[in-house]
Amino acid sequence: MILPGTFVQPDIEQGLGAGDEHLIFGNNGLFIDLTGVESGTTTYSFADEVATAQLGDNDGELDFADTRTTFPCFAKGTLIETDAGPRPVETLTPGVGVLTADGAVLPIRWVQGRLAEFADTDDRHRPILFSPGSLDSDLPRRPLIVSPQHRIVVRTRCGALVLTPAKALLSRPGVRLMRGLSQTIYYAILLDQHAILLSEGAPTESFYPGPTVLRDLPPLQRATILRLFPALRTNPSGGYGPFALPVLSVTEGRSLPIPARPTPKSASARPGHVGKTIPAWSGAPVARGGDAVSAPPRLAV
């Protein structure tokens, strides 16, 4: 069924996508009128329905994107370290305190699950599995499954700690694409600041709501994040704050050496975390712009 331009308020009435003079109704067989577009396949994203600078401008122009893109997330079942011990990500709720790699406890501000489905011929968005010991001699402790864009803490040649997307590490032993899955549920964990979480014991990032990710979110989820962090409305690129560690691109991550697996060390947690043991990362210099700096953020606990 083809719908011409309408005058309804689709964000309110449908809770899905609308943009400029266009209307889309999700998965119930309805489509929009793309008058003047040549024949072919066209995909419309949820990116242009909010009249917020750089997040959708309602300017009468359609914006297009790949709606199958998945934002950085943990797969259902991933154990996340909290102040009460490890918990499956799907059981976490706002207000729960998660333990960061530097020993701090930060409350969850927003957590969201999202069903992701994968076409048989398209591997771009399939989850990536890190086998036990593939990141360090004993990390992750259990299989860790994340979306391809989820950033993992690794070391550079000079030993600096950086973040790189999971898909950049596919050439490493014990890391593989999960081609056998047709779907999974991804969960994002948003904190007051970007932080390094412990997922299956391994250091990985919390959700970072940058401009590209915000554009790909469904409108209701995006609106929630904008209410929690209103600075993102006027400053999508920097309104949330800095990254917890320097970030490498996929190409840069692929160029990193595959390190020998050292003998692991452990350290008791700080007071207030009695009985917990988490990895004792050495607190090596953090790379910034390819250089090492003194007095970096410490990951050691």
Digit-coded pLDDT (tens) for 226-249 = 999 999 999 999 999 999 999 999
- Identify the pLDDT of residue 116: 85
Q: Which helix (H) or strand (E) holds 115?
A: strand 110-117
Digit-coded pLDDT (tens) for 162-212 = 999 999 999 999 999 999 888 899 999 999 999 999 999 999 999 999 998
Is residue 254 predicted with pLDDT exceeding 90?
yes
- pTM attached to this predicted model: 0.68
* Long-range contact pairs involving 136-139 (C-beta distance under 8 Å, separation at least 24): 136/202, 136/261, 136/262, 136/264, 136/279, 137/261, 137/262, 137/263, 137/264, 138/201, 138/264, 139/200, 139/201, 139/202, 139/264, 139/279
Cα within 13 Å of Cα(164), Cβ side: 22
